[in-house]
């Protein structure tokens, strides 16, 4: 095969059988399965740092109670996972030499190694066949919490609470001159696309890793490309899995039509997963500080990607995201006013995001499902404390973009990202009613509608095209 193919799972989801994804019974089943799903990846994350140390040390690392009767099974599971890790490490070494090491390779060779990488990365990331027995027997919690003390957090972040721009802004007006250098990997052919990776040092002073993103362009690039930067949801593994929904329903759908789509890895997600954590775990494990640390870093990284797209000739740039990604987009839209002009998006497309994070931490259904509420209570966090952090957690009450350039999508029955809080924020932002879309569904129904319908995709392309025409008219009149 001379190019990557559309995932068979995606083909199933857009088939008539995929209608089940939008049903209430499926949403209920999916929601109830979350603790067990995250327990499996928690068990794997613990194995990454406890291989070779024995079952007792492993159970301590996974934050599970003693289980002498399972030691033999745990020994076998760790040995099985060690073989997977070894194959993963060997494959990644070959992949890095091809895509980042300057190794002279043929297009077919890059397709083959990319396919191999995804298959072994998925086996490593979600080894349900290896650690599922631990999750099934309820020994493993879905999150290993590192909840900060509220008084310590207030002391640590008091300057940022008084001036949120310290967290969400760049150091000075010369920010664009001091941007990290963006590196580009070798390319690989997709289904009607050319795909490659970007990496750069995160501009956030609170992270110490490289930001990364996957870029999708038409196979035959002709002229400058309107660009969409779109963030995935919490806990996604991105291109560490064979099937990444945003890649299929958005990037590989729009790129062949003449658009560039950039899918970033959020901090602690995908290829940025920290050792000993699963993808996205620090976000909730360190709540509420983990939340605004991620929002601010991802917002600044989006600014870098927006600026990069403009240097590549993008006439307009839109920023969007789903769930956690939608919250990132709202922060970008509410914080970018003081950024250099080249970093500010022209359009905003938030999907399935709440409007008030402090309230979501108190009443969102995910809080109870993953015992986030219990961890916050045990550490001494109250509703009053969370409200004190609202200036850093919540998107600002006024946008930095014209309201008519914001296009929102929510689920009317969404309890994880409470729809009522989103409606309040959109009212405060003054988003025109025709720009506000509601689907009759819950949180997982929002993703199902993104996958199965083209309403969002058509909105994005229509508004990108309209913005391009507006820019051309401005140029002509000038």
Mapping DSSP onto H, E and C, the string for the chain reads CCCCCCCHHHHHHCCHHHHHHHCHHHHHHHHHHHHHHHHHHHHHHHHHHHCCCHHHHHHHHCCCCCCHHHHHHHHHHHHHHHHHHHHHHHHHHHHHHHHCCCCCCCHHHHHHHHHHHHHHHHHHHCCHHHHHHHHHCCCCCCCCCCCCCHHHHHHHCHHHHHCCHHHHCCCCCCHHHHCCCCEECCCEECCCEEEEEEEEECCCCCCCCEEEEEEEEECCCCCCCCEEEEECCCCCCHHHCCCCHHHHHHHHHHHHHCCEEEEEECCCCHHHCCCCCCCCHHHHHCCCHHHHHHHHHHHHHHHHHHHHHHHCCCCCEEEEEECHHHHHHHHHHHHHHHCCHHHCCCEEEEECCCCCHHHHHHHCHHHHHCCHHHHHHHHCCCHHHHHHCHHHHCCCCCCCCCHHHECEEEECCCCCCCHHHHHHHHHHHCCCHHHEEEECCCHHHHHHHHHHCCHHHHHHHHHHHHHHHHHHHHHHHC
Over 80: is that where the pLDDT of 478 sits?
Answer: no
Which pLDDT belongs to residue 220?
87
Task: For residue 138, name the pLDDT band (cuts at 50, 70, 90).
Answer: low
> How many CB atoms are closer than 10 A to CB 452?
16
Of the chain, the percentage scoring pLDDT greater than 90 comes to 87
Over 80: is that where the pLDDT of 424 sits?
Answer: yes
What is the value of pTM for the model shown? 0.96
Over 50: is that where the pLDDT of 173 sits?
Answer: no
Which pLDDT belongs to residue 102?
81
472, 464 contact by CB (below 8 A): no
> Which has the minimum average pLDDT: 15-19, 195-199, 322-326?
15-19
Which pLDDT belongs to residue 476?
75
Task: For residue 174, name the pLDDT band (cuts at 50, 70, 90).
Answer: very low
User: What is the average per-residue pLDDT within 259-282?
Assistant: 98
Query: Nearest-CA neighbor of 34 among 412, 385, 464, 443?
Result: 443
208-244 pLDDT, tens digit each: 999 999 999 999 877 799 999 999 999 999 999 999 9
Which pLDDT belongs to residue 222?
73
Identify the H or E element spanning 136: helix 128-136
* HSE, side-chain direction, 13 A CA sphere, residue 161: 13
Pairing of strands 183-184, 193-201: antiparallel
Of the chain, the percentage scoring pLDDT greater than 70 comes to 97
Which pLDDT belongs to residue 201?
96
Which pLDDT belongs to residue 249?
97
Which pLDDT belongs to residue 323?
98
Query: Nearest-CA neighbor of 298 among 396, 232, 247?
Result: 232
> Which has the minimum average pLDDT: 61-70, 293-302, 334-343, 434-443?
61-70
Which pLDDT belongs to residue 24?
85
User: What is the average per-residue pLDDT within 421-432?
Assistant: 98
53, 387 contact by CB (below 8 A): no
Q: Which residues contact 270 (CB under 8 A, 6 or more apart)?
A: 212, 236, 237, 238, 239, 240, 279
User: What is the average per-residue pLDDT within 338-352?
Assistant: 97
Which pLDDT belongs to residue 19?
84
292-335 pLDDT, tens digit each: 999 999 999 999 999 999 999 999 999 999 999 999 999 999 99
How far is residue 69's CA from residue 266's CA, in Å, rounded to a whole number?
A: 39
Average per-residue pLDDT for the chain: 94
Q: Which residues pair with 230 in a beta bridge?
A: 320
Q: Where are the domains of the chain?
A: 29-136, 150-477
Which pLDDT belongs to residue 471?
85
Which pLDDT belongs to residue 34?
93
| Cα 170 to Cα 163, 300, 303, 344, 397, distances in angstroms | 13, 8, 10, 13, 21
How far is residue 131's CA from residue 276's CA, in Å, rounded to a whole number?
A: 15
How far is residue 142's CA from residue 74's CA, in Å, rounded to a whole number?
A: 18
Q: Phi, psi at residue 279, to the nearest 5°?
A: -60, 115
Q: Which residues pair with 119 in a beta bridge?
A: none
Identify the H or E element spanning 320: strand 317-322
| Beta strand spans in 150-208 (E) | 183-184, 188-189, 193-201
Identify the H or E element spanning 291: helix 289-311
Fold classification of 150-477 (topology level): Rossmann fold (3.40.50)
């Amino acid at each position: 095969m001379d190019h990557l193919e559309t995932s068979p799972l995606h083909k199933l989801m857009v088939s008539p059988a995929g209608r089940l994804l939008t049903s209430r019974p499926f949403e209920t089943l999916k929601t109830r399965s979350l603790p067990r799903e995250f327990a499996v990846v928690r068990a794997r994350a613990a194995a990454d740092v406890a291989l070779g140390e024995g079952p007792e040390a492993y159970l301590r690392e996974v934050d599970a109670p003693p289980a002498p009767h399972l030691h033999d099974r745990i020994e076998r599971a760790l040995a099985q996972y060690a073989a997977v890790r070894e194959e993963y490490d060997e494959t990644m070494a070959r992949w890095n030499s091809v895509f980042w090491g300057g190794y002279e390779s043929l297009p077919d060779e890059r397709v083959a190694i990319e396919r191999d990488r995804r298959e072994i990365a998925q086996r490593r990331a979600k080894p349900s066949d290896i650690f599922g027995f631990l999750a099934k027997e309820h020994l493993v919690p879905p999150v290993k919490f590192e909840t900060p003390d509220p008084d310590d957090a207030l002391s640590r972040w008091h300057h940022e609470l008084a001036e949120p721009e310290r967290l969400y802004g760049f150091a000075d007006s010369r920010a664009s001159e001091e941007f990290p250098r963006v590196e580009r990997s070798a390319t690989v052919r997709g289904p009607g696309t050319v795909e490659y990776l970007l990496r750069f040092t995160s501009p956030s002073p609170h992270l110490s890793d490289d930001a990364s993103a996957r870029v999708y362009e038409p196979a035959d690039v002709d002229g400058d490309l309107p660009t969409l930067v779109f963030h995935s949801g919490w806990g996604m593994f991105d291109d560490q899995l064979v099937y990444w929904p945003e890649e299929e329903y958005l990037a590989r759908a729009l790129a062949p039509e003449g658009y560039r789509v950039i899918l970033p890895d959020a901090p602690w997600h995908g290829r940025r997963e920290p050792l000993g954590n699963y993808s996205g775990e620090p976000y909730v494990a360190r709540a509420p500080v983990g939340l605004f640390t991620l929002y601010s870093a991802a917002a600044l990284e989006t600014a870098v990607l927006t600026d990069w797209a403009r240097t590549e000739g993008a006439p307009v740039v839109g920023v969007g995201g789903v769930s956690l990604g939608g919250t990132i987009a709202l922060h970008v839209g509410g914080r970018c006013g003081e950024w250099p002009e080249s970093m500010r998006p022209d359009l905003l497309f938030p999907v399935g995001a709440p409007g008030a994070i402090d309230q979501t931490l108190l009443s969102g259904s995910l809080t109870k499902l993953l015992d986030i509420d219990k961890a916050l209570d045990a550490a001494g966090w109250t509703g009053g404390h969370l409200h004190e952090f609202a200036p850093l957690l919540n998107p600002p009450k006024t946008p930095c973009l014209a309201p008519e350039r914001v296009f929102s999508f929510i689920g009317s029955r969404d309890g994880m990202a409470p729809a009522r809080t989103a409606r309040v924020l959109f009212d405060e932002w003054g988003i025109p009613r025709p720009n506000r879309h509601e689907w009759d569904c819950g949180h997982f129904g929002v993703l199902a509608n993104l996958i199965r319908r083209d309403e969002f995709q058509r909105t994005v392309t229509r508004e990108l095209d309209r913005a391009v025409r507006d820019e051309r008219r401005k140029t002509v009149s000038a």
